[in-house]
A and B are shown apart, each in its own frame.
Chain A
Amino acid sequence: MGFVEYASDIGMALIILCAYSFLYKENPFYRIMESLYVGGGVGWGLAYSLFRFNQTLVPFFKDPSSLWWYTIAIFLGFFWYTYWSKKYYFLYRIPLSYGIGLSIGTGLYGSVYSTFIAQVTATFKGAGATPLETFNNILITIGAITAVLFFYFSKEHKGALGFASRIGRYFILIFLGSAFGNTIMGRTGLVISIVSELLKDPQWMMIPLVIAIFMVVELLKRIGYLREFSPTIAQAFEVPAKGETKG
């Protein structure tokens, strides 16, 4: 294993353990991990975007005369950055409104058809091949209609509407319960991936090291050290300053 891969594996283990230290209590190591993650993610992501943008300009560099309108797009694209100007703030609205208008207009057809028409059509299935399938189809129809009625707030939920919306609420609760079950599966899967990586060589060596450091720090705290810090460090690292903690 090369030095870079070795260092990456050790770094990965330390970052994971810093993140999991939050489960014990919030501490500066978790904050350091957070800063590294957000900073690295934004910087690196922006570099990718710049690289990709450079690639999409390749046809323009090849034949500027046929794609002359790219220059207008790039010029208007600089208007995004007038957001921070008090005098020229209004120019920022031009690329924003163009993008929003086009997205809404083109997406309208898609959302109307796929999220509304297709879903409503699929709700009414009719009889199935077997009695169970017929029962399922009836249940789906009742469930979908009553769940939509639950969101109808133009009339008070009383009488027949009240009964229907209550049934709809039960179907929505089944959906939320299923989502809860699947969320647990998903998040547990993430923990499993992380722990699987952590148990590999050489990452696993960081676990006893970090636990040992943690125990030493807790011991020092018990005997009176590392409880309070100078005002500068307290302000920089958001830790208790001298005189802040009692006992």
Chain B
Amino acid sequence: MAKLIAMDLKKTVPVTLAFIMGIFGAFAYFYYTKPTADVLANAIVFDGVMGSMAMGISLINISLIHGRNVQRKRKGWFFSLLLLAVMYFGLIIGLGAMKPFIEETGTKVQYYGLFDWGTESIGYFLVNAITNPASTTVFSLLAFYIASAAYRSFRVRGIDSAILLISGSLVLLGQAPIGSVIFGPGIGTLRTWILSVPNMAGSRGCQIGIAIGAIAMSIRVLFGYERKPTLGGMG
């Protein structure tokens, strides 16, 4: 019996806590009073400190997944090993000093980590040579795939795809200077009109629909009808 109660409490307490915090947060915003606003402010700071403690989860999760790959020598284990090595290296270097090359003028204008280890050069290399260009380049690959898809896949099969194609082409030509050179300044005006009127109407409809869904989902989570978010996927 005690075991059953304990098992139930393990699910009930988090759901109840979410309900209390949610109702309190909503009440404090919908009906503003000074005392509730003060308590809310402290609750927000409390959440800020408590939530920040979760920053190590990504490190542990990646270490477990890629550590297993290396341990079991799965296909591509070298890349997992490299990832882990760079991750821990980046963490240690980042905790040292990464100083941008700004002259000190009395007030400190040099970024420093928790420990001043003088590792600024390695940090500079890690950020400028690896993480910054890699992130942008990976996103930019899509530009080439869009060009390829435009040629091989984008087919006008009916009125729907025709509308998509025509509006996309007009916006494309309207926002590039060459559009104005070929078709005159009217194409820019047409592009602005498409974005401000029909595009805006369609986007608004989507956003209202999404908002209604999000509000309904939020209320379901608050009242415990959806338990997965508050029980960490084991509801």
Contact = CB atoms under 8 A, between A and B. Distances in A.
B135 to A, nearest CB: 7
B134 A19 contact: yes
Contact of B19 (A81, A101, A141): A101
Contacts of B24: 105
Interface stretch (B102-110, B180-188, B198-206): B198-206
A171 B77 contact: no
A48 B52 CA distance: 12
Contact of B222 (A7, A105, A173, A175): A105
A2 to B, nearest CB: 9
Interface residues on B, range: 35 or more
Contacts of B57: 80-81, 83
B53 A80 contact: yes
A77 B62 contact: no
A111 B214 contact: yes
Given A171-B201, A176-B164, A11 B130 contact: yes
A225 B16 CA distance: 65
B76 A40 contact: no
A116 B197 contact: no
B168 interface: yes
Contact of A178 (B19, B89, B125, B195): B195
A173 B160 contact: yes
A226 interface: no
Contacts of A9: 129
A40 B133 CA distance: 12
A36 B131 CA distance: 8
A4 interface: yes
B86 A40 contact: yes
Nearest to B7: A90
Contacts of A48: 94
Contacts of B201: 139-144, 147, 171, 175
A146 B22 contact: no
A199 interface: no
Contacts of A31: 76, 79
A97 B15 contact: yes
B95 to A, nearest CB: 5
A205 interface: no
Contact of A47 (B30, B91, B133, B231): B91
Nearest to B113: A51
Given A80-B53, A106-B29, A39 B86 contact: yes
B198 A143 contact: yes
Interface in A226-240: 235-238
A230 B160 CA distance: 53
A119 interface: yes
A245 interface: no
A181 B22 contact: no
| Residue among B95, B194, B222 with max Cβ neighbours from chain A (10 Å) | B95
B192 to A, nearest CB: 11
Interface in B78-112: 78-80, 82-95
A116 B174 CA distance: 31
B113 A181 contact: no
B160 A169 contact: yes
A217 interface: no
B91 A140 contact: no
A115 B210 CA distance: 9
Contact of A105 (B14, B26, B169): B26
Contact of B55 (A50, A98, A103): A50
A61 interface: no
Given A22-B141, A37-B134, A47-B91, A140 B200 contact: yes
A120 interface: yes
A104 B25 contact: yes
B206 A172 contact: yes
Interface of A: 4-5, 7-12, 15-16, 19-20, 22-23, 31-44, 46-54, 56-57, 69-70, 72-74, 76-78, 80-81, 83-84, 89-90, 92-112, 115-116, 119-120, 122-123, 136, 139-148, 150-151, 168-178, 180-185, 187-188, 190-191, 193-194, 197, 235-238
23 contacts: A38-B87, A44-B94, A48-B94, A53-B52, A56-B49, A56-B52, A80-B54, A81-B57, A93-B13, A101-B22, A104-B18, A105-B23, A105-B28, A106-B25, A106-B40, A115-B207, A140-B200, A143-B197, A146-B205, A147-B206, A173-B160, A180-B168, A194-B133
